[in-house]
Amino acid sequence: MAHANLDDVKTYLLDLQDRLCDALAAEDGRAGFREDAWQRADARGGRSRVIEHGALFEKGGVNFSHVYGATLPPSATAARPELAGRGFHAVGVSWVLHPENPHVPTSHGNVRFLIAEKAGEAPVWWFGGGYDLTPFYPVLEDVRHWHRVARDACAPFGEEVYPRYKAWCDDYFYLKHRDETRGVGGLFFDDLNEGGFEHCFAFQRAVGDSFLDAYLPIVRRRRETPWGERERDFQLYRRGRYVEFNLVWDRGTLFGLQSGGRTESILMSMPPLARWEYAWEPEPGSPEAELYENYLAPRDWLGEEARENQA
């Protein structure tokens, strides 16, 4: 049963990678994804696809991987010590998009499936994933659209699902050393196996399939917004936060490195350029200050909208 499930999920993930790449390349309009298929001697492998120097995307990647081993990495068993020592299979698609225009948000997403196996015992499986948005010059309309699509993707699975995974995203994509969120959140879930395989797999597909509906309308609204050196400098400064999160806090990065994944593919998420400046603070009342004052802490984006509409 476990391996049949693995094959079903793998088929979906490969198709999702194709659909994401096709749509994002079409949206860019100039650059396409180049594929770097990789295979290890132990049969681990994947398809890394990267887009660079496009009309829209300065750098982006949509990667598929299938890794396995005799022992789950420590990052996977830290919260589930009862699985330590089990062999595993992990399949997933992850994507990160770094537009050149500072007014178009960076975005990240992934969907994954893991099976932990031990001789003489039933396999233990679970799903994880989600997506989040990292604007530098946020627009409230865009943030609410993003969360509406996320909520609607969750709706068939219960009213409590979106609030739960929205809060989990706010908590997960949080830079503790900076006391700020990475962006405006979205969805994050892990260790999902409640309700049976078909139910959980359907939820994973709903999340993966909704990403383009969440992201592309924002891209289309903001990609022609004029920008200059000031906006570019701020974008590169805030990209530094993205690097800090991925290298200090992100469990996915750690799992990939610990599980013997391909380093070049794992670090595909890094922006092409970033910068750091000592003790920098935005000018009061500036557009840059708006990000810090109103967007880098958890908010009930859709609840606020509903209350405004009722007023």
Catalytic residue numbers read 108
- Answer yes or no: are the C-beta atoms of 109 and 220 closer than 8 Å: no
Burial 243-279 (b: 16+ CB within 10 A, else e): ebbbeebbebbbbbeebebbeebbebbbbeebeeeee
Question: Is 98 marked within a binding site?
Answer: yes
Element (H, E) at 113: strand 106-118
d(CA 250, CA 111): 15
- DSSP summary character for residue 3: H
Q: Is 147 one of the annotated binding-site residues?
A: yes
Q: Is 261 annotated as a binding residue?
A: yes
With 0-12 / 13-18 / 19 or more C-beta atoms within 10 angstroms meaning exposed / middle / buried, residue 191 is exposed
Q: 75: annotated binding-site residue?
A: no
177 carries a ligand binding annotation: yes
Provide φ and ψ at 43, rounded to 5°: 80, 0
All residues at 6 or more sequence positions from 13 whose CB lies less than 8 Å from its CB, including other chains: 64, 91, 92, 93, 111, 113, 208
- Identify the three-state secondary structure at position 159: coil
Q: Is 246 annotated as a binding residue?
A: no
Q: Was 94 annotated as part of a binding site?
A: yes
Cα radius of gyration rounded to whole Å, the chain: 19
Residue numbers in the known binding site for substrate are 94, 110-112, 260-262
Sequence ranges of the binding site for a divalent metal cation? 98, 108, 147, 177
